[in-house]
Amino acid sequence: MQLSDIKSMYHRHELVEAIVEPSLVANGWIVEFKSQNGDIIPLTDFSGHEKCYRNLDIATATAQQVGFPSVRIDEPF
């Protein structure tokens, strides 16, 4: 889902959490959002592909643009 749609969901109080985690298919970070019913919604580009950020700080800042004051970084060690 694109950023503008995610922001709309946030303002309608349909999202409960922002998550940044390593991409499984590319070298970088993806941003996902958890809905009230537990669905995970990935941030995508205009063509529907998961948006991948090379920099953790930029991925986190993008999640915060939606409105979340804090973002969970989900990185397995």
CA distance 71 to 63: 7
Question: Quick one: pLDDT at residue 76?
Answer: 75
What is the structure's pLDDT at 77?
61
What pLDDT does residue 19 have? 98
Model pTM? 0.92
| 43-60 mean pLDDT | 96
Distances 22 to 3, 14, 26, 30, 34 between C-alpha atoms, Å: 19, 24, 8, 6, 16
Strand pairing report for 72-73 and 15-22: parallel
> What tens digit of pLDDT does each residue of 1-51 get?
999 999 999 999 999 999 999 999 889 999 999 999 999 999 999 999 999
Structural domain boundaries in the chain = 3-73
